[in-house]
Amino acid sequence: MTQYILALDQGTTSSRAILFDREGRIRGAAQQEYPQHFPQPGWVEHDPRDIWNSQLKVAREVLRASHVAHAQVAAIGIANQRETTIVWDRKSGEPVANAIVWQDRRTAGECDRLRAEGVAERIGQRTGLELDAYFSASKLAWLLEHVPGVRSRADRGELAFGTVDSWLVFKLCGRHVTDASNASRTMLFNIHEMKWDQELLDLFGIPASMLPDVVESAGEAGTASSEWFGGPIPITGIAGDQQAAMFGQACHRPGMVKNTYGTGCFMLMHAGQRPAVSHNRLLSTVGWSVGGTTDYLIEGSVFMGGATVQWLRDGLGIIRESHEVEALAASVPDNGGVFLVPAFAGLGAPHWDPYARGTLVGMTRGTNKGHIARAAVEAIAYQSAELLAAMCRDASVPVAEVRADGGAARNDLLMQFQADLLGVPVVRPRVTETTALGAAYLAGLAVGFWASQEEIAAQWQAERRFEPSIGADERRGLMARWDEAVARSKGWA
């Protein structure tokens, strides 16, 4: 009987389920978008029930369409949008409010207040993170203070907090767990001691009883109930989506770099088996914990990557489908002097400006929608180039290449411009669904579906390699112009 791994890839705008075979090949896939909620400017929410229902639906759909029975699924791996904060009732399993999404900026003022109290350095030393509304801690504190009755119920031990992985595992099997990669994104987890930090819990006013148990990224997390798939299936892999993509890209050695072009862009460098310290406002984060060993990463986050293209589609209406942006951007020879800084949710690394806002500069009467589309595509590459420059200043080893994945990595125009700006090759793998693949690999390692990380690394194959085509002087000139555009977006709100 042929065996598979089922990967649940729960993203910011859609839920996916993908079946992988022993060669790491996709044998079935299903995807469903779900609603986004923007109740106020700068606020972003999801209904946790939409997250669960869409994820369950696509998981069932891919098994049914692929004619795969539950007994053929060796394990389930979960990769998830990170930092998004959910609180639910332990008995009923019902959420107490909408999830506050990682993009949400409602707690920026509270983070400013804490920064003024002088606690940012202490938080950074323990968690590896910047004091920012991006992470879960201030979001959870907001829910405790602003949703009626939640504080008292939490104090009585009735409520559970979790990131999306915790929510899915709870719905699948009733256990309240997370893995270290997700825990490390909450701003409540000490990455040196690998445990929840009581001093940080006290700082944010969060009861320890709300927190999930921390399990290994590859290991027993629970068993999905028979009611969901017709029989029990072990859940043995969990990782935040970017760590999962790093693992799926086989970036298992220090100095290796990947960049995921999804809703946001997330560039990660393997830093070894001790937390790295960034001097350029990048993040130090847990990559994965496997077999008692923890790997650490340096990360830079861009809040608006593929979401910029969605804005062209949904906000401006200049394209009907996201994939049309490449042809529209290629309809003009260059950006015509137009720069788009997509700071719709502030700026992430290395700026960390929650008050920056989207800015479109350099337009003339000759500007058309092709120029705006090209500026949007190029903005994704410019933001990522800033991250690699910061990483190279932090790193002790040179970067040989950047492995690219995510939906926008299929855009050849973007990949070539990215290589030009980085000055190193950008390599697109044969399987670009590396977030789901990484979750599958972690789950499969735990049950012996794959024997080792070396076996996994041997499966990685390049589909196309984009080599830099411009010189250093031109590269510096382009980045200098981008820096000017970014400066105009800062502090606007």
306 is in an annotated binding site: yes
Quote the pLDDT of residue 178: 98
Q: What span, in angstroms and rounded, lies between the C-alpha atoms of 124 and 424?
A: 30
The pTM assigned to this predicted structure is 0.87
Q: How far is CA 296 from CA 161, 257, 396, 443, in A?
A: 24, 13, 15, 19
285 is in an annotated binding site: no
Does residue 70 belong to any structural domain of this protein? Answer: yes
Core vs surface per residue 100-115: b (16+ CB within 10 A) or e: bbbbbbbbbebbeebe
53 is in an annotated binding site: no
3-state SS class at 191: coil
82 is in an annotated binding site: yes
Does residue 438 belong to any structural domain of this protein? Answer: no
90 is in an annotated binding site: no
Q: What is the CATH number of the domain that holds 119?
A: 3.30.420.40
Quote the pLDDT of residue 298: 92
Does residue 249 belong to any structural domain of this protein? Answer: no
Does residue 449 belong to any structural domain of this protein? Answer: no
Quote the pLDDT of residue 339: 96
pLDDT digits (tens, 9 = 90+) for 321-371: 888 899 999 999 999 999 999 999 888 888 888 889 999 999 999 999 999
Quote the pLDDT of residue 396: 67
Domain containing 191: what range? 4-241
Does residue 206 belong to any structural domain of this protein? Answer: yes
Does residue 448 belong to any structural domain of this protein? Answer: no
Q: Name the nearest CA neighbour of 472 among 420, 406, 394.
A: 420
3-state SS class at 477: helix
Total domains in the chain come to 1
Does residue 186 belong to any structural domain of this protein? Answer: yes
488 is in an annotated binding site: no
Does residue 141 belong to any structural domain of this protein? Answer: yes
14 is in an annotated binding site: yes
> What are the residue ranges in the chain where pLDDT is below 70?
396
Quote the pLDDT of residue 349: 81
182 is in an annotated binding site: no
13 is in an annotated binding site: yes
